């Protein structure tokens, strides 16, 4: 079990004039989340991302919420993406590809991931309202854009259908979580190789 006992973990601290962010992740966790961003709905979504990816996450953000939630959400995505990338290292032995159609009540959302080292977001999700409570629905895309860019993953998210905007947002996070779990998991048949004929994924 020598190769699989490597601790795949990452820690990022990031401070700007807009936010102060610290993130720690452990890829082979049990989905224990300790999240504090000052934005209740966003905390709820990050909890889902951890719980359903089984990636342990500690995320602390102190942002300029007196302006709005934008910098807090975007910078959390940047730091979380960087921490995941750091934890993946040279991406040796990972499954690399995964997708899921995730149902929640009336809503269905697909997430497809390639842990490619090539950042790309394809976003086919429309909300029918600008807000969920006090949270700007457009920030869901902003989060995943920052996350995909900094994690070095290709991420496609498509909402097939759904009526409730809370459900639409939540299925995005849960679907990405489940796809991320599968794609970042160690595939024993890769035998510790980088899963690319190029020989590298960074």
Q: In the chain, what is the straight-line distance between the N-terminal and C-terminal CA atoms, in Å?
A: 25
Nearest to Mn ion of 74, 170 (CB atom): 170
Please, which residues have CB within 8 angstroms of residue 113's CB and are 6 or more apart in sequence?
97, 98, 99, 153, 154, 155, 156, 176, 179, 180, 183
Number of neighbours of residue 119 by Cβ within 10 angstroms: 18
CB of 52 to Mn ion, least distance (A): 12
Distance of alpha carbon 155 from alpha carbon 53, whole angstroms: 15
Nearest to Mn ion of 91, 167 (CB atom): 167
CB of 108 to Mn ion, least distance (A): 16
**Cβ-closest position to Mn ion:** 170
CB of 167 to Mn ion, least distance (A): 8
Task: Identify residues 153-192 at the interface with Mn ion (CB under 5 A).
Answer: 170
Distance of alpha carbon 114 from alpha carbon 152, whole angstroms: 9
CB of 69 to Mn ion, least distance (A): 17
Q: Under rule CB under 5 A, how many of the chain's residues touch Mn ion?
A: 1
Give the interface with Mn ion as residue ranges (CB under 5 A). 170
């Amino acid at each position: 079990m020598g190769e699989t006992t490597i601790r795949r973990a990452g820690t990022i601290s990031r401070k700007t004039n807009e936010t102060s962010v610290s993130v720690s992740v452990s890829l082979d966790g049990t989905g224990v989340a300790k999240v504090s961003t000052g934005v209740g709905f966003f905390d709820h979504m990050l909890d889902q991302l951890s719980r359903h990816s089984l990636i342990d996450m500690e995320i602390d953000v102190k942002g300029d919420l007196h302006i709005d939630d934008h910098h807090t959400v975007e910078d959390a995505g940047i730091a979380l993406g960087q921490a995941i990338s750091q934890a993946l290292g040279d991406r040796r032995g990972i499954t690399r590809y995964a997708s899921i159609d995730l149902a929640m009540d009336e809503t269905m959302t697909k997430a497809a991931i390639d842990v490619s080292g090539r950042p790309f977001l394809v976003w086919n999700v429309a909300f029918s309202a600008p807000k969920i409570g006090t949270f700007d629905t457009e920030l869901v895309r902003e989060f995943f854009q920052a996350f995909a860019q900094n994690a070095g993953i290709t991420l496609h998210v498509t909402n097939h259908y759904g009526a409730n905007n809370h459900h639409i947002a939540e299925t995005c996070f849960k679907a990405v979580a489940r796809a991320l779990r599968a794609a970042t998991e160690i595939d024993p048949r890769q035998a510790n190789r980088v899963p690319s004929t190029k020989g590298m994924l960074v």
